[in-house]
Copies of this chain bind each other. A is one copy, B any other.
Amino acid sequence: PDTVPLTRGLPIPQGISASTFHMVISELKTLLGAQHVELNDAELKNGWYMQHPNTHDMMPLLHSEEFIASAVVYPGSVEDVQRIVKWANKHLVPIYPISMGRNLGYGGAAPRVRGSVTLDLGRRMNRILSINEEDYTCLLEPGVSFYALHEEIQRRGLGDKMWIDTPDLGGGSVIGNTLDRGVGYTPYGDHWAQHAGLEVVLPGDDARVVRTGMGALEGANTWQCFPYGFGPVSDGIFSQSNFGIVTKMGMTLMPNPGGFESFMYTFPDESSLAPLIDIIRPLRISNILENVAQLRHGLQTLSVKGLPRSTYYTGPGPIPQEILSEHLSRTATGDCAWVYYGMSYGPAHIRKYKLDVIDAEFHKIPGCRKIDPSKMPADEYFWSRDRIASGTPDLEELKWVNWVPNGSHIAFSPVSPIQGKDASALYELAKKRHAEAGIDLMPAFCVGLREMHLIVEIVFDATDEGVRKRAERCLRDMIDDAAKLGYGEYRTHLALMDQVAATYNFNDGALMKLNNTLKDALDPNGILAPGRCGIWPKRYRGRGWEL
């Protein structure tokens, strides 16, 4: 639906009276300028990906008024961010920073605590502060998207020299994605590993600005070259946390490798998964397979065409294998259980060396087929992967969200070794839970250097409460099943953060105790993004906020 009414009224944060809230909002308007503060008191507007809302999650898993902001504020500078932090400390208002809020599948723009004041950093703080064409680095503000960075590189005529690394959707914020430890698909796909230097506003009542790494040295010319600096490396504690508001981040850029070539293999048997993964592992660790490639289930090749599921099947439960095979066999890809999308980099003769090794190894799997790119129509999904793995932002991936009406999605994202037995175990448990929930299973293995992120996307109709409940149950069951087998999520949806955090339970939750200690030291008033990643400030702890 395009708009959703606010049946529960303006979501004023807990512990603050309506009149006080309106007073402190006036104060905030005085501090920032009235035009930079918006109350969320009308209705929830959805819209599509590129015009996403910043007040809530346009793909709600829970009730649509659960994770919503009371107001949105648009700081225009680091000083503005400091003003907001001081204001929040003074009045004990929970604030929730987003860079752009396109965190779809993990909560979108929504805050964890209903009624938080959302800091939309990206709207006004969206400058590319530098692109260094000699060091292959850049320095960004929160509002710079992968698209914007890519375009600016082209505009400066540097497109032939340097690449960015983009996730499957290019509309997100480089900072937002990286802080949530997102992944892309070139050799620079581990975004967190590729960042260099943060500027952070701390949540304490003096709202101190810290620069990490070499940025702590006044006048340093190495802030983006060397990620560590001297003394403790504190960057990590600002990722997937609620310990600070990042106002600048450095990022490395990939030099043009001097050539590239996408390739695609299909495998007919579902049971090829384990042996294939075992073939991939040594090739990946030794960088013969060079990028964070995706090994996708056949169903995704169909769903990414963007047609609704009802085009193929209208019965209940997961789409049957025969139906899937039948429709797949009519596509350019042909019928298959698994598709591997990869890319080789470098000059032609260097690529040939690697591609030959890969070809010989992959063909050990019965029925393996190498798909000839020249046979792929221009609108085939293959070319989207080609663009992304060569650093060009894209939006094709959005299409599978159309699989069901009012398509929303949420991801199950466990990490495993690149081992056949682990791939099978995770695939089997997902299959079982999907069957129980009557949901189509769409798994993709994103293969990092020594681990894989399995991404299972559950696509659901957000307006159907029953379906939402089934999706949530399916997710929660998979998280628990996986944890029992030793697998944990790399990232999760707002609604599941407490559950996922609780699976990281070694020594009676020692890591969360450490997180809590740091939270209390850095944010004694507990104003910043309470509950994010399962970390609750002292004022909230033990009061049943966990979901």
Q: Which residues of A contact B (CB under 8 A)?
A: 134-137, 181, 192-193, 196, 202, 208-212, 214-222, 224-226, 228-241, 243, 252, 255, 257-258, 281-282, 285-286, 347, 349-350, 353, 415-419, 422, 448, 450-451, 483-492, 500-501, 503-507, 510-515, 517-518, 520-522, 533-535
Contacts and interface: CB of A to CB of B under 8 A. Distances in A.
A533 B501 contact: no
A430 to B, nearest CB: 17
8 contacts: A211-B510, A218-B506, A230-B501, A230-B504, A231-B501, A233-B236, A234-B237, A518-B521
Q: Which of A232, A506, A533 has the most CB of B within 10 A?
A: A232
Contacts of A221: 416-417, 422, 486-487
B230 A489 contact: yes
A123 to B, nearest CB: 25
A505 B216 contact: yes
A226 B514 contact: no
Contacts of A350: 350, 353
A229 B504 contact: yes
Nearest to A217: B488
A530 to B, nearest CB: 14
B235 A202 contact: no
Contacts of A285: 135-136, 255
A135 B236 CA distance: 24
A413 B489 CA distance: 39
A504 B136 CA distance: 24
B491 A230 contact: yes
Contact of A255 (B215, B218, B226, B286): B286
A216 B518 contact: no
A239 B229 contact: no
Contact of A208 (B252, B491, B507, B515): B507
Contact of A218 (B448, B505, B513): B505
A222 B353 contact: no
